[in-house]
Chain A
Amino acid sequence: MIAANGKRESVSRLTRLLESEKLLATALLAPGVIILALFIAYPFVMALWYSFTSMRVGDAGEFVGLANFTKAINDTIFQQAFENTVFYTFWATVFKLALGMWLALLLNRHFRFKRVVRATMLLPFIIPTVLSAFAWRWMFDPTFSVMNWALHHAGLITDRLPFLSDGDWAMWCAVAVNTWRGMPFFAITLLAGLQTISPDLHEAAALDGANAWHRFWHVTWPLLLPVTLVVVVFSVIQTFSDFQLIYVLTGGGPANSTHLIATYAYQIGIGSGLLGEGAALSLFMFPVLFAVVWVQLRYLKRMENA
């Protein structure tokens, strides 16, 4: 009887505690905060700490201040990797946006097998990057490229095209594969955005004499801009920190022409066991991505307030 009373009392105390909005909010937010702290904040803080040390595999190293960052800035391979990363991210994002938008506009129309086509279009995005990168590597293979074979048999080329054996070609090939892989994400997200735009607006614009381009530019584009910005932010983050595609497709070669920050940081941190230097290299991504996210979110906020 006493135990039952005690139990009832503790339950009512808990109910009273949860009635406080502050406590309830804290309790509900706690799991999310703990997960973020464990899996995002902790690794980030550790990476930050490592970057200030001479840590190697199996050796905690010592505090070296900004030495790892200075070494990276003076490292010509890193300079090249940084330039490559900016180039790769810029062009891949431009192509993904342009082609994704085009695809979304096409898919927004009514046609037979619309659902099947929409589902199929997601395939490049669904297939694991490592697998698709391997398939592309075979297609670009210096000796056995099916594209070279087809072009040669069609009489369009006499010598093989240096898809991956020329630095510039290899970088454009990487941009092409990234575009192929990321375009469906753009298309499907923009398609979702397109479907929220009321057809009445288009009809009204058409009645006012607007042609297809004017309707896109003055109706669709402004209404789609918030979604577009969010997709671009996501894409820039993913592309700037890309690793798998380059690792499989080119390994950073030829002659470091396709090294990205992530692949080079891996080569230094894991390949050479220089964990401190590897962490410093990878942290160079942070300010760039932070700036991109900050500018775009600020722009979005301004639009919301307008």
Chain B
Amino acid sequence: MARINRRRFLKASGAAAVGAKMGIAGILVSHQAPVFAQANTVHILRWNDFVPAADKVLREVFAPEVQKALGLKLNVETVNANDIPARATSAIQSGNGPDIFMILNNYPHLYSSAAVDVSAVAEEVAKAQGGIYDAATQLNRIGGKWVSMPWSMVPALIAYRKSWFDEVGAKTFPKTWKEYHDVGKKLKAAKRPIGQTLGNTFGDAPTFTYPFLWSFGGQETDAKGKVVLDSKETLESVRFMTQFWKDAHDEGGLAWDDSNNNRAFLSGDISASMNGASIYVAALNGADKFKTEKGAPLHTDILHAPLPAGPKGQHGYHTAFNHMVMKYSKNAKGAIEFLRWAHKQENYEKWFTVQKGFAVGPTRAWEKHAMWEKDPVMKPFQTAPLLQKRLMGYQGQPDKKAAEAWNKFIVTVMYAQACSGKMKPEEAVKWAAGELGKIYT
């Protein structure tokens, strides 16, 4: 057997390097790592969609079509939503990673210095599709420049069991928190509590607690950026929540993440929960599996409603999904072209329709899509983004400070401290205001 010496090894490995022009010997000579990503490849990193069919569209429909239309090879990578910040941080710091990152909520404010300007695409799409929603605009346009492109929003509404609400006398969904409390009390007495997370989890917890706070008149800051959380309105909201929690909720919700309420609802343990449409979509897709106690498909007993109104109005918060083209990308031009292509109505529609309303488009044009006429249960999602009048950090900007408060779960923990009995409502409000004060210095 021929002995392999260093020279022979380098020669052989050089010949074997598939797709590489130079092989290991070449790399050693040129002192340069091979460029694996070809110039016409766009690597996009997104979350594992709660509607898996949507990821399938990206891989099986978008990828071949964009190859044909633009000559771009689309490489779609999906990870758990909670892991995106870690991936983005390491990519930005090392200057190497996916060309496009899908980032949630106000992360565009955190990563703005690492972003390529996508104003041209955003303005084209806004013009062609009836304008981008205000909330999405505030989250993605910083200093007059679009640092990322809004892709979709996942509205958070309350999914509830119609028949169970009927049984306790609620023929329509409660319009106010007070009415919801009264109905919830009866439901919990019937061992059908409301299920809601107040845990340290990225989605359902803050998207519930922030609108709740606003609807009582509480807010984090005033227009000048001064912390004003410690107010009688906030205190009233915490007092209300403490009693509401005890009387009407599954108290295990203090430890729930974003998926617990889906499981609890689908297994018939809770009567209502604020969520995206994923509970309904799962019940619809698993009609044989998820049944009511009477044996009917569960989805036939689910309806959706917006969060009730408080003494100071009605609010909602819908999770925003945005695409950021990274400055370090060697193919930023290709990445922008991909976004321009993907947002064209005839292309975006393919992704949008498989969502069945779980995610809505970033522009008002999608409110008019024929899909909304197919399923009346999903109708409340059609215009849900219009209910989003405020963002984190209100009355200030949804900026880096607001992101820090959001990521520290300060508002959510304020309610959790009081509901768990760890603090009195007054103490919880003072604690939260103090923590906010350290951020807004």
In whole Å, how far is A94's beta carbon from the nearest beta carbon of chain B?
25
Q: Which residues of chain A are within 8 angstroms of B264 by Cβ–Cβ distance?
A: 143
Interface pair A272/B199, CB less than 8 Å apart:
no
Interface pair A251/B403, CB less than 8 Å apart:
no
Q: How far is the CA of A252 from the CA of B417 in the complex (A)?
A: 13
Smallest Cβ-Cβ distance to B410: which chain A residue: A77
Asked if B257 lies at the interface with its beta carbon under 8 angstroms from chain A, I say: yes
Q: Which residues of chain A are within 8 angstroms of B400 by Cβ–Cβ distance?
A: 56, 273
Interface centre among A56, A165, A252 (most CB of B within 10 A): A165
> Binary interface profile of A, 251-265, with partner B (CB < 8 Å = 1, else 0)?
111111100000000
Interface pair B254/A165, CB less than 8 Å apart:
yes
Interface pair A256/B404, CB less than 8 Å apart:
no
Asked if A57 lies at the interface with its beta carbon under 8 angstroms from chain B, I say: yes
In whole Å, how far is A246's beta carbon from the nearest beta carbon of chain B?
10
Q: Which residues of chain B are within 8 angstroms of A257 by Cβ–Cβ distance?
A: 422
Interface pair B201/A270, CB less than 8 Å apart:
no
Asked if A122 lies at the interface with its beta carbon under 8 angstroms from chain B, I say: no
Interface pair A144/B86, CB less than 8 Å apart:
no
Interface pair B417/A255, CB less than 8 Å apart:
yes
Interface pair B110/A56, CB less than 8 Å apart:
yes
Q: How far is the CA of A172 from the CA of B251 in the complex (A)?
A: 19
Q: Which residues of chain B are within 8 angstroms of A166 by Cβ–Cβ distance?
A: 254, 420
Interface pair A251/B200, CB less than 8 Å apart:
yes
Interface pair A254/B255, CB less than 8 Å apart:
yes
Interface pair A251/B89, CB less than 8 Å apart:
no
Asked if A188 lies at the interface with its beta carbon under 8 angstroms from chain B, I say: no
Q: Which residues of chain B are within 8 angstroms of A141 by Cβ–Cβ distance?
A: 260
Interface pair B85/A142, CB less than 8 Å apart:
no
Smallest Cβ-Cβ distance to B406: which chain A residue: A272
Interface pair A57/B438, CB less than 8 Å apart:
no
Q: A57-B114, A71-B438 are in contact. Are A255 and B416 (CB under 8 A)?
A: yes
Smallest Cβ-Cβ distance to B421: which chain A residue: A166
Q: How far is the CA of A31 from the CA of B69 in the complex (A)?
A: 52
Q: A76-B435, A143-B260 are in contact. Are A57 and B255 (CB under 8 A)?
A: no
Interface pair A272/B435, CB less than 8 Å apart:
no
Q: Which residues of chain B are within 8 angstroms of A254 by Cβ–Cβ distance?
A: 198-200, 254-255, 416, 420
Q: How far is the CA of A166 from the CA of B253 in the complex (A)?
A: 10
Interface centre among A74, A77, A250, A271 (most CB of B within 10 A): A271
| CB-contacts of B404-437 with A (<8 A) | 404, 407-409, 413, 416-417, 420, 422, 431, 434-435
Q: Which residues of chain B are within 8 angstroms of A74 by Cβ–Cβ distance?
A: 438
Asked if A164 lies at the interface with its beta carbon under 8 angstroms from chain B, I say: yes
Asked if A124 lies at the interface with its beta carbon under 8 angstroms from chain B, I say: no
In whole Å, how far is A129's beta carbon from the nearest beta carbon of chain B?
16
Smallest Cβ-Cβ distance to A71: which chain B residue: B438
Q: Which residues of chain A are within 8 angstroms of B111 by Cβ–Cβ distance?
A: 57-58, 273
How many pairs of residues, A versus B, come closer than 8 Å at their CB atoms?
Answer: 118
Q: Which residues of chain B are within 8 angstroms of A56 by Cβ–Cβ distance?
A: 110, 400
Asked if B263 lies at the interface with its beta carbon under 8 angstroms from chain A, I say: yes
Asked if B252 lies at the interface with its beta carbon under 8 angstroms from chain A, I say: yes
Partner of A142, one of B89, B200, B252: B252
Q: A57-B111, A58-B113 are in contact. Are A167 and B408 (CB under 8 A)?
A: no
In whole Å, how far is A81's beta carbon from the nearest beta carbon of chain B?
11
Q: Which residues of chain A are within 8 angstroms of B267 by Cβ–Cβ distance?
A: 143-144
Partner of B422, one of A167, A250, A252, A275: A167
Q: Which residues of chain B are within 8 angstroms of A160 by Cβ–Cβ distance?
A: 252
Interface pair A142/B260, CB less than 8 Å apart:
yes
Q: Which residues of chain B are within 8 angstroms of A77 by Cβ–Cβ distance?
A: 408, 435
Partner of A272, one of B86, B200, B404, B422: B404
Q: A141-B260, A143-B263, A272-B403 are in contact. Are A170 and B417 (CB under 8 A)?
A: no
Asked if A220 lies at the interface with its beta carbon under 8 angstroms from chain B, I say: no
Q: How far is the CA of A254 from the CA of B423 in the complex (A)?
A: 13
Interface centre among A141, A142, A144 (most CB of B within 10 A): A142
Q: How far is the CA of A18 from the CA of B227 in the complex (A)?
A: 69
Asked if A274 lies at the interface with its beta carbon under 8 angstroms from chain B, I say: yes
Asked if A9 lies at the interface with its beta carbon under 8 angstroms from chain B, I say: no
> Binary interface profile of B, 74-94, with partner A (CB < 8 Å = 1, else 0)?
000000000001101100110
Q: Which residues of chain B are within 8 angstroms of A275 by Cβ–Cβ distance?
A: 89, 93
Q: How far is the CA of A57 from the CA of B110 in the complex (A)?
A: 7
In whole Å, how far is B285's beta carbon from the nearest beta carbon of chain A?
21
Q: Which residues of chain A are within 8 angstroms of B198 by Cβ–Cβ distance?
A: 254-255
Smallest Cβ-Cβ distance to B441: which chain A residue: A71
Q: How far is the CA of A75 from the CA of B251 in the complex (A)?
A: 28
Smallest Cβ-Cβ distance to B112: which chain A residue: A58
Q: Which residues of chain B are within 8 angstroms of A272 by Cβ–Cβ distance?
A: 110, 403-404, 407-408
> Binary interface profile of B, 91-125, with partner A (CB < 8 Å = 1, else 0)?
01100000000000000001111100000000000
Interface centre among A59, A268, A273 (most CB of B within 10 A): A273
Q: A170-B255, A250-B255, A253-B416 are in contact. Are A58 and B200 (CB under 8 A)?
A: no
Asked if B164 lies at the interface with its beta carbon under 8 angstroms from chain A, I say: no
Q: How far is the CA of A269 from the CA of B431 in the complex (A)?
A: 22
Asked if A162 lies at the interface with its beta carbon under 8 angstroms from chain B, I say: yes
Q: Which residues of chain A are within 8 angstroms of B180 by Cβ–Cβ distance?
A: none
11 residue pairs bridging A and B, Cβ less than 8 Å apart: A57-B114, A58-B111, A58-B113, A253-B254, A253-B255, A256-B413, A270-B89, A271-B407, A272-B110, A273-B400, A275-B93
Which residues in B have some Cβ–Cβ distance to A below 8 Å?
85-86, 88-89, 92-93, 110-114, 198-201, 250-257, 260, 263-264, 267, 269, 400, 403-404, 407-409, 413, 416-417, 420, 422, 431, 434-435, 438
Which residues in A have some Cβ–Cβ distance to B below 8 Å?
56-59, 71, 74-77, 141-144, 160, 162-167, 170, 250-257, 267-275
Please provide the 10 A-B residue pairs with the shortest distance between their CB atoms, ordered closest to farther: A142-B252, A164-B255, A254-B254, A58-B114, A253-B200, A255-B416, A165-B255, A58-B113, A271-B407, A273-B110
